[in-house]
Chain A
């Protein structure tokens, strides 16, 4: 056998091997790429813009500043379903001295359970990991595992109606970032 023949055979073998590997990757790559695109689809959706939602009347909030819980209802798009007027969350509203409204999202900024106002302790409390938050400003208590205070929401009062700009935020971090 001539030397050039064996080199030719080597080259032929290499090309076969390389070709098989490339073809194999390409074959599997097509479904994998299509699959990955669908798996990552949730990243496509931009964060929703918060909108003001009419929650209640100013008169319904006790002047003594006791917080009241209200569910927030809005049209909700959940993948293929559109739910009209669905509960999308809840807020605590509190009437302050000058008839402005303080609003907190009930979602605990620690890890996302729902906080509850405690009448006896006069604070907000999360039953999951015992985070407590001050009534006045929602600041997390000492020894409270939450990294930030309760998430306050923008409010406005127009013609006796209380509007809340409802939004959820990422939990577990010190920064208040819309989710």
Chain B
């Protein structure tokens, strides 16, 4: 019967093939090498617990493959790093998958390093004569963590930028040479192009080459000394062979690792990319999870003791691991002490990590900052994918000119000391003592209807806390407030008329979100315009007594002109100078004449106004 196996066997042992292989072996000696590599005896038989080293080698191979392809699409400079990673993530076919695999393999490798080392320690495989092998392993661990650290910066996003800033600033703490070390790492006095080129050279060149060199030594030494039998004293299991006994187990383990990486990648749709780095925009810097324990640790070393927690103790902990083979050979209790030391280290690692995450989960400031950062990230992706795309100067410009994300920031810092937006400061923090109207959907029918509601005009949503509700020397509140208060006993007909006027005035605002409604209600708006001049049933005064409207100017002075009320230009002009005779004139309460005080730039005023009007660029894909 022909089976695949017999066919293969026939082919390999056929005369012509055999002579070809003989020729090759004669010139290269490959058979001897293959025998050396594959037919290694595994004392005590193949075991699952020996797979960790192979999974790490596999992980490294995955990183080399994915890393080289990422390299072919990455551009390290402060104008192109984020932009090229964005392009990989969102534009290139399968880019997110490739980047995700690279990212999550790095995460998984950190865990595999711990498992591999744990197995070596528990089995005592670090003891004589394997000291040097253990040390090369520790060097590999440090090198791989360094690769992770340098890779974190490369997307040049807020997350990588701020976390790496903390890490490199730690280097500056080193006495005497700290500043110089930091400068050499960062590539200058400031973060910039050369920080990226240097980190990239380390991440993709220097460190991987070192890793390969040390790995060759590591595997050579491992083969020289062979596997450490798990229980040398106990009854012997039959010896096995590396090929295929152990390799089969290794292959299954590597496949499982790949599965885990794929599941993580698919679940998170690849690795995160936050907003482009911006030195003026704060970001709650956090390192990757496996460095969180160090991050937490730093909080306990205030002031000058920073060097102890940031550098000396971590370095001592590493020295402790390097000393293990010596400790084990010098003292009979050495091995146990090493296990206790490792266990203790793991315990501290786990406790500090849990504490760090727990603090963050409870920290409202952090959660708030994180939300803002996520919103910025989502928005910048949307802008970068818009037809306008990313300008040559870089994506950081996209957010700087974006009303949707900058509007609320400007509002919070310049307007929210008096105004509110849905009761908060624009960014989501509660504003408890407003002294000027809430500007959420200012100009809309809904806003205006509330304003002319006798029950609402004096609340914090409108004139509460303003001079307009304060009685003057004659004991009278402002005319507008008195007018609205008098609307209390309006007839049904009067109410209907009022709402028509509201629709007419609100139509002046020309709000994009009200556009459809305004077009549909054209007749009603016309009626409202007439009523503005004619007045409402049962009310003596008309709106036109005080306000200009429909092309007419008002005879009254110092009352806002309602021609183009709440339109973009009207609101910009008003913000620049509310004391203009066209607006409040001398009746202006406390609103600053921003035009003179230069609190805002013109661009900032435009961005706040566009944000209030909800006039920011929208794209089909995103709903903000």
**A interface residue numbers (CB < 8 A to B):** 39-40, 42-43, 45, 47-48, 56-57, 59-60, 62, 66, 68-69, 71-72, 76, 78-81, 83, 87-90, 106, 110-116, 118-119, 125, 127-130, 143-147, 168, 170-174, 177, 179
CB of B365 within 8 A of CB of A125, answer yes
Our pick among B169, B188, B413, B596 for the contact of A79 (Cβ within 8 Å) is: B188
Contacts of B413 in A (CB 8 A): 68-69
List 8 contacting pairs A-B, 8 Å CB cutoff, sorted by A. Answer: A78-B192, A80-B193, A81-B77, A106-B280, A119-B429, A129-B295, A145-B306, A172-B170
Question: Complex Cα distance A116/B189, Å?
Answer: 24
CB of A147 within 8 A of CB of B365, answer no
Q: CB-CB contacts of B186-225 with A at 8 A, as 1s and 0s?
A: 1111101110000000000000000000000000000000
Question: Complex Cα distance A81/B363, Å?
Answer: 40
CB of A89 within 8 A of CB of B280, answer yes
CB of B279 within 8 A of CB of A88, answer yes
Q: Judge if B90 is at the interface, Cβ distance under 8 Å.
A: no
Our pick among A125, A129, A172 for the contact of B173 (Cβ within 8 Å) is: A172
Chain B nearest CB, measured from A102 CB (Å): 17
Question: Complex Cα distance A128/B194, Å?
Answer: 25
Contacts of A144 in B (CB 8 A): 302
CB of A172 within 8 A of CB of B172, answer yes
CB of A111 within 8 A of CB of B298, answer yes
Chain B nearest CB, measured from A35 CB (Å): 11
Contacts of B180 in A (CB 8 A): 43
CB of A40 within 8 A of CB of B166, answer no
Contacts of B193 in A (CB 8 A): 78-81
Contacts of B307 in A (CB 8 A): 172
Q: CB-CB contacts of B161-187 with A at 8 A, as 1s and 0s?
A: 010011001101100001110011011
Q: Judge if B466 is at the interface, Cβ distance under 8 Å.
A: no
CB of B597 within 8 A of CB of A60, answer yes
Contacts of B597 in A (CB 8 A): 57, 59-60
Contacts of B400 in A (CB 8 A): 87
Question: Complex Cα distance A71/B170, Å?
Answer: 25
Q: CB-CB contacts of B276-317 with A at 8 A, as 1s and 0s?
A: 001111111110000000010011111110110010000000
Most buried by A among B169, B183, B283, B307: B169
Contacts of B278 in A (CB 8 A): 87
Chain B residue at smallest Cβ distance from A109: B169
Q: Judge if B79 is at the interface, Cβ distance under 8 Å.
A: yes
CB of B299 within 8 A of CB of A87, answer no
Contacts of B194 in A (CB 8 A): 42, 79
Given contacts A112-B165, A172-B172, A173-B173, contact A48 B189 (CB under 8 A): yes
Question: Complex Cα distance A128/B295, Å?
Answer: 9
Most buried by A among B79, B172, B282, B295: B282
Chain B nearest CB, measured from A31 CB (Å): 15
Our pick among A42, A83, A147 for the contact of B304 (Cβ within 8 Å) is: A147
Q: Judge if B514 is at the interface, Cβ distance under 8 Å.
A: no
Our pick among B188, B298, B417, B592 for the contact of A45 (Cβ within 8 Å) is: B188
Our pick among B284, B285, B598 for the contact of A59 (Cβ within 8 Å) is: B598
Contacts of A69 in B (CB 8 A): 413
Most buried by B among A66, A71, A72: A71
CB of B166 within 8 A of CB of A112, answer yes
CB of A81 within 8 A of CB of B365, answer no
Contacts of B192 in A (CB 8 A): 78-79
Q: Judge if B251 is at the interface, Cβ distance under 8 Å.
A: no
Q: Judge if B73 is at the interface, Cβ distance under 8 Å.
A: no
Most buried by B among A39, A111, A145, A174: A111
CB of B285 within 8 A of CB of A128, answer yes
Question: Complex Cα distance A143/B284, Å?
Answer: 19
CB of A78 within 8 A of CB of B301, answer no
Q: Judge if B318 is at the interface, Cβ distance under 8 Å.
A: no
State the interface size on chain B (CB cutoff 8 A): 57
Question: Complex Cα distance A118/B165, Å?
Answer: 23
Question: Complex Cα distance A87/B166, Å?
Answer: 20
CB of A60 within 8 A of CB of B284, answer no
Our pick among A43, A72, A113, A145 for the contact of B162 (Cβ within 8 Å) is: A113
Given A39-B184, A60-B599; 10 other pairs, CB 8 A cutoff: A42-B187, A45-B188, A59-B597, A88-B279, A127-B285, A145-B298, A145-B301, A170-B172, A173-B173, A174-B304
Q: Judge if B369 is at the interface, Cβ distance under 8 Å.
A: yes
CB of B280 within 8 A of CB of A90, answer yes
CB of B280 within 8 A of CB of A170, answer no
Chain A residue at smallest Cβ distance from B429: A119
Question: Complex Cα distance A32/B172, Å?
Answer: 25
Question: Complex Cα distance A93/B186, Å?
Answer: 29
Our pick among B184, B282, B303, B417 for the contact of A147 (Cβ within 8 Å) is: B303
Contacts of A179 in B (CB 8 A): 179, 189
Chain B residue at smallest Cβ distance from A79: B193
Contacts of B286 in A (CB 8 A): 128
Chain A nearest CB, measured from B372 CB (Å): 11
CB of B166 within 8 A of CB of A111, answer yes
Q: Judge if B341 is at the interface, Cβ distance under 8 Å.
A: no
CB of A40 within 8 A of CB of B184, answer yes
CB of A106 within 8 A of CB of B282, answer yes
Chain B, range 436-469, C-beta contacts under 8 Å to A = none
Q: CB-CB contacts of B346-372 with A at 8 A, as 1s and 0s?
A: 000000000000000001011001000
Given contacts A111-B169, A112-B169, A172-B172, contact A42 B280 (CB under 8 A): no
Q: Judge if B506 is at the interface, Cβ distance under 8 Å.
A: no
Chain B, range 410-428, C-beta contacts under 8 Å to A = 413, 417
Q: Judge if B78 is at the interface, Cβ distance under 8 Å.
A: yes
Given contacts A45-B189, A56-B598, contact A128 B166 (CB under 8 A): yes
Contacts of B173 in A (CB 8 A): 172-173
Chain A nearest CB, measured from B460 CB (Å): 17
CB of A145 within 8 A of CB of B302, answer yes
Question: Complex Cα distance A18/B219, Å?
Answer: 33
Contacts of A129 in B (CB 8 A): 295, 298-299
Our pick among A43, A168, A171 for the contact of B184 (Cβ within 8 Å) is: A43
Contacts of A72 in B (CB 8 A): 280
Question: Complex Cα distance A147/B281, Å?
Answer: 23
Chain B nearest CB, measured from A138 CB (Å): 15
Contacts of A59 in B (CB 8 A): 592, 596-599
Question: Complex Cα distance A43/B181, Å?
Answer: 9
Contacts of A128 in B (CB 8 A): 162, 166, 284-286
Contacts of A66 in B (CB 8 A): 417
Our pick among A48, A76, A127, A170 for the contact of B366 (Cβ within 8 Å) is: A127
Question: Complex Cα distance A6/B400, Å?
Answer: 82
Chain B residue at smallest Cβ distance from A90: B280
Contacts of B166 in A (CB 8 A): 111-113, 128
Chain B nearest CB, measured from A151 CB (Å): 14
Chain A nearest CB, measured from B165 CB (Å): 5
Question: Complex Cα distance A118/B184, Å?
Answer: 36
Question: Complex Cα distance A31/B95, Å?
Answer: 37
Given contacts A43-B183, A60-B597, A128-B166, contact A143 B302 (CB under 8 A): yes
Contacts of A81 in B (CB 8 A): 77-79, 193
Question: Complex Cα distance A116/B187, Å?
Answer: 28
Question: Complex Cα distance A147/B310, Å?
Answer: 13
